[in-house]
């Protein structure tokens, strides 16, 4: 668990760099793979993207709380936040709403723009279906859309919690 916003930002940027590298390898590998392996890579990238969001929120919220100047507030907050939820749009909104109405409204507007809410919901649904052995068929275009949403959420969270 991060002990400051600075340490959380370093961890988030390291994890994001690893995700970006995996996405680049994914894009490059698709050219030479048969369709069935491409489908497997699509699922893998959806799991990675969804998992990154959970790590992003865990690190950012933990670092944000750790930087509180009030030790009692810091300890109370950290004692309740042990892990990030599976980040459906609703779960993300519930988590962010705990930081106040301003962020809650900003997040709602953010998710409603550019189909982010729908894309995030679809990404998490794919992650859950894949993790639980259900079928999913998707393509490179979908994964590109999910990557863009993850990049947007990354920027939104960093701007509010880790700068």
Over the stretch 107-142, which tens digit does the pLDDT of each residue have?
Answer: 999 999 999 999 999 999 999 998 898 887 665 569
Query: What confidence score (pLDDT) does residue 141 get?
Result: 65
Distance CA 48, CA 10 (A): 19
Query: What confidence score (pLDDT) does residue 138 get?
Result: 61
Q: For 14-31, what is the mean pLDDT?
A: 95
Q: For 35-57, what is the mean pLDDT?
A: 93
- Alpha-carbon distance values, 71 to 33, 48, 78 (Å): 53, 34, 10
Query: What confidence score (pLDDT) does residue 31 get?
Result: 86
The tokens describing 14, both together, are: 């390291």
The answer to whether residue 48 scores a pLDDT higher than 90 is yes
Instruction: State the maximum Cα–Cα separation within the chain, in Å, rounded to a whole number.
Output: 56
Q: For 4-33, what is the mean pLDDT?
A: 95
pLDDT band at 144 (very low <50, low <70, confident <90, very high): very high
Where do the structural domains in the chain lie, given as residue ranges?
5-161
**Residue 159 burial by Cβ neighbours in a 10 Å radius (0-12, 13-18, 19+):** exposed
Query: CB of 158 within 8 A of CB of 9?
Result: yes
Q: What is the mean pLDDT of the chain?
A: 91
Give residue-wise pLDDT tens across range 71-117. 887 888 878 888 888 899 999 999 999 999 999 999 999 999 999 99
Q: Cα-atom radius of gyration of the chain, to the nearest Å?
A: 17
The tokens describing 82, both together, are: 């042990």
The answer to whether residue 9 scores a pLDDT higher than 80 is yes
State the DSSP code for 99: T
Query: What confidence score (pLDDT) does residue 140 get?
Result: 58
Query: What confidence score (pLDDT) does residue 32 get?
Result: 86
What is this structure's pTM? 0.92
């Amino acid at each position: 668990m991060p002990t400051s916003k600075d340490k959380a930002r370093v961890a988030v940027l390291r994890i994001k760099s690893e995700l970006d590298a995996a996405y680049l390898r994914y894009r490059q590998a698709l050219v030479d793979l048969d369709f069935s392996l491409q489908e497997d890579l699509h699922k893998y990238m959806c799991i990675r993207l969804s998992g990154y969001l959970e790590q992003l929120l865990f690190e950012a919220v933990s670092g944000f709380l750790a930087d509180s100047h009030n030790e009692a507030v810091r300890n109370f907050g950290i004692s309740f936040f042990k892990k990030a939820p599976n980040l459906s749009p609703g779960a993300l909104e519930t988590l962010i709403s705990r930081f106040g109405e301003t962020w809650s409204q900003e997040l709602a507007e953010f998710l409603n723009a550019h189909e982010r809410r729908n894309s995030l919901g679809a990404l998490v649904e794919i992650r859950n279906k894949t993790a639980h052995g259900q079928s999913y068929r998707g393509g490179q275009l979908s994964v590109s859309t999910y990557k863009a949403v993850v990049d947007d959420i990354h920027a939104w969270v960093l701007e509010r919690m880790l700068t």
